[in-house]
Amino acid sequence: MKTVYHILASILLLQTSCIKAQKLEIQYLANEGVFIKSSKTQLLIDVPFNKEFDYLDVLPDTELNKIENAEEQYQAIDILLATHLHGDHFNAKVAGKHMVHNPNAQFLGPDETVSRFKENFEGFDKISKRVQAITPSFLESETVQLKDIEIKALRFEHLGESPWNEAENIAYLITVDGKKILHMGDSTPDEKSLEKYQLQNEKIDAVILHFMLLGNKDIIEKYINPKLILAAHIPPKSQSKVQEYINSLGYNNVVTLIEQFKTIGID
């Protein structure tokens, strides 16, 4: 009888472990770059970039080499997304090399990002069939299906003044394993655009956004209303000040992305 009990207990433990392993996870890599892992699909968003600005977080060269060569945890990436072409979100060489070494990976980004990709990566012709451009007009959206993952592209203006705000900036609403993840890139959403998209009705499980947007607390809670907010784009030398600022805003659902490789489970 004890043997039967032990067998049943082992089976239950194994099933529980599998369930835990299949829970959707978001791993912070650098700046606004995240690695989304589900039971069936793996996505990198704004990850393939190298050191463009001294004051921003960037992965060490050893980790970038792993991404380029599709090694270790990066060997089975299904989809690479770029919100825009700025060098702290996208690098043609890093993304291109990864796709050469990972023949199953697909890339999606705005038109001008794809143009930059084509211009700056010599082997682009070898991967071009797996590269797709998407740039909806302002206040419009486009939805694509990549590897059974629904990706909705939303067009927002980029933060800042000219020339920064001239970049084609896309936010992605991704449905993975029944969970909805919104990555805002460097969007500067106003009430008009958010009211148009009605994101509060999407029941968003997690949003990744530039920490500067958190000052618009009323708008975020009314028009996005996520269960969890992942605050990103935090300069390493300003982490303590940014944390104090975020604490002063009164949120109870914000996680700051400052520790590389930290993983957040999405229930």
Instruction: Give pLDDT tens digits for 139-161.
Output: 899 999 998 899 999 999 988 66
Beta carbons within 8 Å of 35's beta carbon, 6+ residues apart: 26, 27, 29, 42, 43, 44, 47, 73
Question: CA 249 to CA 79: how far, in whole Å?
Answer: 34
Alpha carbon of 205 to those of 31, 66, 106, 155, 199: distances in Å? 21, 29, 24, 20, 11
pLDDT tens per residue across span 166-179: 689 999 999 999 99
Alpha carbon of 46 to those of 12, 86, 107: distances in Å? 38, 10, 11
Q: If we measure between CA atoms, which residue out of 164, 165, 256, 265 comes closest to residue 211?
A: 256
Question: CA 176 to CA 41: how far, in whole Å?
Answer: 8
**Total length of the chain:** 267
Q: Which two tokens stand for residue 110?
A: 């705005």
Q: Which residues pair with 198 in a beta bridge?
A: none
Q: Which CATH architecture has domain 21-266?
A: 4-Layer Sandwich (3.60)
Q: What is the pTM of this model?
A: 0.89
pLDDT tens per residue across span 224-266: 999 999 999 999 999 999 999 999 999 999 999 999 999 999 9
Q: Quick check: 112 pLDDT over 90?
A: yes
Q: If we measure between CA atoms, which residue out of 121, 93, 90, 125 comes closest to residue 108?
A: 90
Strands across the sheet containing 263-266: 131-133, 106-109, 79-81, 42-45, 33-37, 24-30, 263-266
Residue 75 — very low, low, confident or very high, per pLDDT cuts 50/70/90? very high
Question: CA 70 to CA 159: how far, in whole Å?
Answer: 32
Looking at residue 4, what is its pLDDT? 45
Residues 153/177, Cβ–Cβ less than 8 Å? no
The average pLDDT across 63-78 equals 98
Question: CA 112 to CA 84: how far, in whole Å?
Answer: 8
